[in-house]
């Protein structure tokens, strides 16, 4: 506006004020150097910010209110709760979890497998006491007479039981083996006696001689029979 021959222009750009002299004709002159009157005000405002930050507790609680004239008031709240949760009447917290079931694991008892006595290369199941007068009784006397023990007799019983079932007349039609020891051919037993075809004692005598010369003992022959299927 014009006053006393001067026109004062107030530019609303933050706090930027400038005074420009004009002539009576209203012609604007070139702008002069900016006024520094706003600098003291800026310095004062910055100082007050530092003071407020130092004085006010940043962790304190404040209440913000506004009146009808839209004026906002910020005031600290003494011993006030910073956070409040309102729960409606009748509301109750409910806590639930997923259901589960317990399964009892029953461990079955261990299975006990009965061991069956199986002959090995060094022995056979015990033969026991033979019936008097039987072919096995004759063989038992001959085995002990040779100095072999009961274990060798047991091996002999198992060996010839497998070969002929202790049958004096056992005849293998496919191979021609004959008698209790299954001599091949059966006529070999004639070296022990002319009655080799019918007498168990003659067959056993020949058979024990064959075993002794080839395998050493009845258990040696039994081991070979178990490994190869024959002796």
Residue with the two structure tokens 């299954």: 182
Neighbouring-strand partners of residue 63: 75
Residue with the two structure tokens 């091949």: 184
Classify residue 157 as exposed, middle or buried by CB count within 10 Å of its CB (0-12, 13-18, 19+). Answer: buried
Quote the DSSP letter at residue 90. Answer: T
Cα 6 from Cα 33, distance rounded (Å): 16
Task: Note whether residue 77 is domain-resident.
Answer: no
Say which residues have a Cβ less than 8 Å from residue 154's Cβ, sequence separation at least 6: 123, 124, 125, 126, 127
* pTM: predicted TM-score of the whole model, two decimal places: 0.49
Looking at residues 48-70, what average pLDDT do you find? 58
Classify residue 226 as exposed, middle or buried by CB count within 10 Å of its CB (0-12, 13-18, 19+). Answer: middle
Q: Which helix (H) or strand (E) holds 202?
A: helix 200-214
Give all strands of the β-sheet with 6-7 in edge-to-edge order.
Answer: 2-3, 6-7, 20-21
Task: Note whether residue 204 is domain-resident.
Answer: yes
Q: What is the pLDDT of residue 117?
A: 45
pLDDT tens profile 94-135: 667 777 777 778 878 877 665 444 444 457 999 999 999 999
CB burial string 59-95: b at 16+ within 10 A, e below: eeeeeeeeeeeeeeeeeeeeeeeeeeeeeeeeeeeee
Asked if the model's pLDDT at residue 87 lies above 70, the reply is: no
Number of domains in the chain: 2
Task: Note whether residue 198 is domain-resident.
Answer: yes
Residue at a domain's end among 10, 33, 49 = 49
Residue with the two structure tokens 């009748």: 90
Tokens representing 42 are: 């800026």
Task: Note whether residue 10 is domain-resident.
Answer: yes
Range of the domain at 21: 1-49
Task: Note whether residue 11 is domain-resident.
Answer: yes
Task: Note whether residue 83 is domain-resident.
Answer: no
Query: pLDDT confidence of 42, banded at 50, 70, 90?
Result: confident
Q: What is the dihedral of CA 164, 147, 116, 230, to 10 degrees?
A: -40
Tokens representing 50 are: 């530092």
Lowest mean pLDDT among 102-116, 132-146, 181-195: 102-116
Task: Note whether residue 67 is domain-resident.
Answer: no
């Amino acid at each position: 506006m014009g006053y006393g021959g001067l026109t004062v222009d107030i530019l609303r750009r933050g706090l930027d004020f400038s005074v420009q002299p004009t002539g009576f004709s209203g012609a604007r002159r070139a702008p002069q150097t900016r006024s520094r009157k706003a600098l003291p005000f800026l310095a004062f405002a910055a100082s007050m910010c530092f003071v407020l930050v130092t004085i006010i507790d940043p962790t304190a609680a404040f209440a913000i209110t506004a009146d009808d004239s839209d004026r906002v008031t910020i005031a600290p709240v003494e011993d006030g709760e910073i956070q409040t949760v309102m729960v409606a009447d009748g509301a109750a917290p409910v806590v639930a979890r997923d259901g589960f079931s317990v399964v009892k694991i029953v461990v079955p008892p261990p299975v006990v497998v009965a061991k069956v006595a199986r002959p090995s290369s060094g022995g056979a199941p015990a033969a026991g006491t033979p019936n008097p007068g039987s072919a096995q009784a004759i063989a038992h006397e001959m085995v002990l007479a040779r100095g072999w023990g009961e274990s060798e007799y047991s091996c002999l019983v198992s060996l010839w039981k497998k070969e002929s079932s202790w049958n004096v007349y056992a005849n293998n039609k496919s191979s021609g083996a004959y008698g209790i020891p299954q001599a091949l051919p059966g006529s070999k037993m004639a070296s022990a006696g002319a009655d080799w075809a019918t007498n168990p004692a003659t067959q056993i005598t020949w058979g024990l001689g064959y075993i002794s010369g080839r395998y050493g003992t009845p258990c040696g022959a039994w081991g070979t029979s178990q490994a190869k299927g024959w002796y």
